[in-house]
Chain A
Amino acid sequence: MDEASRERFVAFAMAKGPRWSELARMLGEDWHEGEDLAQAALAKVFLAWAKVEAADDPDAYARRVLINTIRSAQRGRRLRQVLTANPPEAPIAQVAEPDDPMVAAVARLPRGQRAVILLRFWEDLTEAATAQALGISIGTVKSQTARALARLRSDAALIVENNS
């Protein structure tokens, strides 16, 4: 990799890292894993940087790498959670759990709905771009968004908050 494209990667990683870490935190199954997943996805992007830069839409290509990284972590998860007789050691550094009621409500949504809500309303992607990022149809994006909004509308915690 030549110096110029390496520099472009560094700029890309600095710009995307913090957002990706938040996204991975919200889309993954474990609140504490976001940073690690984002870092792993950036490493994959670095290895394929020439391909990423050559893609029709480099941002969209890189976003798919992130989504795929999160998804493979989710796949492995079922096997990794094991019941033990003794409680495991508590993690040393605690990352704050979401304290904003809206963020917490979105975090409670099922995977698919959570993904469309974050990509549409936090990443501000169009329906088409969201469909592409998740590898689903635009129709599915629309229906998942509608279902997620219905759920948020009836989310008890948000209603209480609104009335108080």
Chain B
Amino acid sequence: MTDQLETVVRDRLHAALLPADGPDWAGGAIARAGKIERRRLLLAVAGAVVVLGGVAGGLYAGVTTHPTGGPTPAASVGPLPAGEQQAIDAALASAPPGSRVETVPSASMAATLEVGDVVLVVPTTTVQRGDIVAFDGSQAGNHWPNVNTRTLTDPTAKNDFIKRVIAVGGDTIGCPPTSATSPNECSGVVVNGQPVDERAYTYGTAPDGVTPSRVPDPTYTFSTTTVPPGQLFVMGDQRDRSNDSRFNGTINTAAVRGVVTAIVWPLERARAITTPTS
């Protein structure tokens, strides 16, 4: 009965709602984007004037500024720059056998991992909460999308996702709403009945829509479930930009290629990745 109605609704909507040719969508959008940009620039100039005023007023407390503009994403084709190849070779030489490097495909882990970072993935049989894992999306579970379209250097990693393990097999995990009046806003992830302090690694996006911000995005509410044995519940550090277990369900541990233990390249971001203690 319901199935029948679903089909009817689907067919009728498809037949009746016909997208018509409209204005010049691309040109119009780009022109409009220019207007938004100019407004932002005005605000930024106003902000700079305030900051300069503060400096002139002697409020400047010796804060060092960082150069703007992040590292450029690694090129997807062609030979790697000499330094990068050396860094990768050095990392693999000192890593356990079976280790590999992967390029971070998406901004879902920013700013812990940025798009284009080359990371060291070490195979493991024990995955714990807080670990960052690389896993094969095509083996992870039925709901995980096939994203085999990425242009990455390593074709075997094309379907890989990199996410943080929030709960392991046997854990209960949920994100209850803050209040009845805002049912989609979650107060914080709860694992095995204990609220998890995620401030050390979650990020949001600044009002400019681009820069990662230390104020995390809210995690959407989801009801408490038990992670089945042999499965992991994973989420990206940038919650508003990550397609993860909240939507696609838990992943098979068999799909895990390994734990991300270090950023190898670019050099200025190279560091060991440790599991937060909490």
List residues of chain A with CB under 8 Å of any chain B CB: 9-10, 13-14, 16-19, 21-22, 26, 35, 38-40, 42-48, 51, 54-57, 60-61, 64, 98, 100, 102-103, 106, 117-118, 121-122, 124, 126, 128-129, 131-132, 135-139, 146, 149, 152-153
Contacts and interface: CB of A to CB of B under 8 A. Distances in A.
A161 to B, nearest CB: 11
A10 B28 CA distance: 10
Nearest to B8: A102
B36 A43 contact: yes
Contact of A54 (B19, B107, B143): B107
Contact of B106 (A43, A55, A139, A153): A55
Given A51-B241, A149-B9, A126 B143 contact: yes
Interface in B232-261: 236, 240-243, 246-249
Given A56-B145, A100-B12, 5 more contacts: A17-B22, A56-B108, A57-B147, A136-B221, A152-B5
A129 B247 contact: yes
Contacts of B143: 126, 128
B13 A149 contact: no
B20 interface: yes
The dominant DSSP class at the A interface is: helix
Given A103-B16, A137-B221, A46 B29 contact: yes
B199 interface: no
Nearest to B145: A57
Contact of A14 (B10, B26, B243, B249): B26
Given A121-B10, A128-B248, A16 B241 contact: no
A121 B13 contact: yes
Nearest to A162: B8
A17 B23 CA distance: 9
A9 B243 contact: no
Contact of B6 (A43, A61, A138, A149): A149
B6 A39 contact: no
